[in-house]
Structure 1
Amino acid sequence: MRQLDRYIGKTVLMSILLVLVVIVGLDGIAAFIDESEDVSETYTFGKVALYVLLTLPGSCYEFIPFAALIGCMLGLGQLATSSELVVMRAAGVSIGRLTWLALKPALVIALVGFVLGEFMAPRTDQMAETQRALAQNPGESFSGRHGVWNREGNTFFHFNAVEPQGIVHGITLLQMDDRNQLQSSLRARQAVYQGTHWVMEDVVQTNFSSWQTSREEHASLRWDTGITPELLSLVIVEPGQLPLADLYRYSRYLQQQGLESEDYQLALWRKLFQPLAVSALVLIAISFIFGPLREGTMGFRIFAGVIVGIVFRTSQDLLGPASMVFGFPPIYAALGPIILCMLAGILLLMRAR
C-alpha cells in the first residue's frame, strides 16, 4: 500500500507543479509585456525583468488553488485513461482512500504556498513596487503613476515609494479642517524616519486662507505622526500579498482611523481559508474524474478545470464587494464559495460510489 500511496502522490504532485509552472510562466510573460509599455531611460528592460521576477513568488501563491484543481484533474485523469484507477478499485481500494491519497500532495503544495505567502511574497512584492516607483520617478519627482493615497485624521497624504530603510520618496500632504476645507498643502522630495518622527527634505509648503495664500520653502522639516515605515510598507502591497499579522494589524489601524477595512479583512480570511479552498477544488477534481469526466479526453478535462476555476474565482471576486455593499461579514464572502465547492464535490463522490 505504501508503494501505491507514493505512486499516486507523486503523479498528482508532479501534475500540480507542472500546471503551476506553466500558469506562473504565462502570467510572468504577460506582466513583462504589459510593463514593457512603460520602458524609459530610467525604467529599462532589465528593471522590467527584475520587477517581474520579484512578483513571481506572489503569483505562485495566488495560482496555487487553480493549479491544484487542474493538476489533480490531469494526474488522476492520466491514471483513469490508462485504466490504473479501475485496477486499483478492483483491488479493493476505496474511493475515500483514493481521495485522501490525491488530497495529500495538494495539501503539501497548499502548506508550501502558505509559507511562501507569509514570509517571501510580501517582501519581494514590496521590493518590486519600490524599485519600479523609483525607476519611473527619479530625482525630485513628486507625482507617480503607482503612488498611493492614504489618510490619518484630517491629513491626506500621497507617496511614490517606500524603501525598507525607512525612506519615503515623493510626499504630498494635504491638511483639511473639520469642514473638509483645504488648509495647507505640502510637498517634499523625500522623508527619513528618525524613530519617533519623520524629517522631510526639500519641502515646499503652501498655506491657504479665505483671502490669500502663502508659500514657504524649507531645506528640512519635522513631521510628527503616528505613521511608521512599517505601516507605509503595507499600503504599497496588494492586501492579498500581505502576511496575516500585517493584515490584522493594518485592518485595526484603518478601523481606528474611521476608514474602510473590509478589503484587508477579506484578504485575511481568504488567506486563512486557502488550504480549505485547495481541498474543496481538489474534491471537485476527484469527483469529476470518478464521475462525469471518467471517459473524457485530457483536453476536455483541462477545459472543465479552467471553467470551474474561473467560476470559483469569479464568485470570490463578486462576494467580496457584495459584502461591503450589503454589509454582511467578509468571512462569509471568503467561506461561501469554499463550502459550495466542498458540498458539490462530496455529493458527486457519493453518487460515484
Structure 2
Amino acid sequence: MKKQNRIVLDSPKVKDGNKLYCQFNCSGKVSKYFKEDTFYMKVNANIESVPKSILAIPALSNICPVAWLAGADIYVEEIDGEFLKALNTIKKSFQVLYPKHSFKGDIKYKRIKRNKRYGKKKSGLFFSGGVDSITAYIRKQNHKPYLLTVRGADIPLSEKEGWRKVRDNNKQFAKENGLYPLFIESNFRSFLNESNLNKDYSKNGLKGWWGGIQHGLGTVGLSAPLAFIKGMNRIYFASSPGIISVDNYLNFTPEPEGSHPSIENNLKWGVTKVTLESMDLSRLDKIGVIAKYIKKKNPNLQLRVCWESKKGSNCGKCEKCTRTMASLLSEGVNPSNHGFRMNKNLLQSMKKNKKLFTRLNENKESQWIMIQYKLRKNLPDKDSKYYNFCQWILKTNFRHKS
C-alpha cells in the first residue's frame, strides 16, 4: 500500500529557555527531501513564554515550500491565524514565479490562534554585514532596530571560526550604534536534503533551492519567536538590488529568486509584518549610500559580501568581491579599510579566469559598465596598489557577446 505523502509536526518545545525544537514525521515522496527529523533553533533570548503557534513558524517557514513542491499535506496542532493567511498567499506567489512547477498540498490544523497583544512598536532588521543589510540599516537607523544575524545560512554550523568573526563584528557594529544584537543559530538549511531538492526541482525556471525558494521565507520566519518576545511589529529584510515592484522584478530579472516582494511583503504573523527594504536601489546605488556613510559617520565600517568564503570574511578574488572592491574605488573609498585586501595574485587570477568576469547576466554586466564609467572619474593614483587592478577593469569588455 502506498504511503500517504505528508508531514506531521509535533508540538514545538523549548529547552533551557532559548533552544527551540520542532520534531516532525514524514511519509511518502516528501521524505527524501529531509536529512533530519527535527528542526532546531537557538537564540540569545529567553523564549519560554512564546505561544506554540508562534514557535511553530520558523519550522513551517522552511518545511512548507518543500511540502508544496512535493505535493504533501502538512499537519499541525495549532497555527497563528495571520501566518496561515500569509502562507496561502505566498504559496500562490511561488506559483506565479515558477509557473512550470506545481505548488500543492494543504495545511491541516486543529486550532487557529490569534496573537495580538505583544507589539511594542519595535522593529528588527536582518543583518549580515553586507551591502544590502548595511544600506537597509542606514535608511532605518532612526528606528533603532534589533539586529538579527543568522548562523547556518551562508556560514555552516560547523564553521566555528567564521561565525565567531561575524558575531564579533556585528556585536561591535551594534555597540557603536547603540543597538541590541540578536543571534539565531539554526539547522534550517542542513536539515533539508538540498541535493535532492536541487536534483528534482532545479529546472524550468528554478535554478537552486536556497536562492530560488528558501532564502526569503525560510530566513525571515526564524525571527517569529524573537519578534514576539521583544515586541517587534515590523521586520525588515534587505532586498536584492533592482526590485522596484513585482512587475518590475519579473521583467528585470530573467531568473526569479526566493527573496521577492510577493514573498516577504506578504509574510506576517500576530501583529508583525515584514518589509523588503531598499527595493528602489541598485547595488551601485547602495554602495553610494554606504560610501557617504563611511565618509561622514563611520570611517572604519567593515563589509562582508562574499558567498565563496565560509570563514566569515571576504575571499577578495571572486567576482562579487572584486565588483564590490571596484565599486568602492569608484566612490573614492579604499576597500582595504573596509574588509578587503589587495591580494598580489588577484590581477593574475582575474586574467586567468576572465570568463567569470565577462560572461555575466545583464544585471552584473550593467554594474561593471557603470563602474568603468565612474572609475574614469575617480581613478586611484599610479602608486596605489589598486592602480593596475583598475586599469584592467577599464580595458576589459564586459558587454554581452551574442
Common fold, TM-score beyond 0.5? no
Normalised to the residue count of structure 2, the TM-score between the two structures is 0.20
Greater helix share, structure number: 1
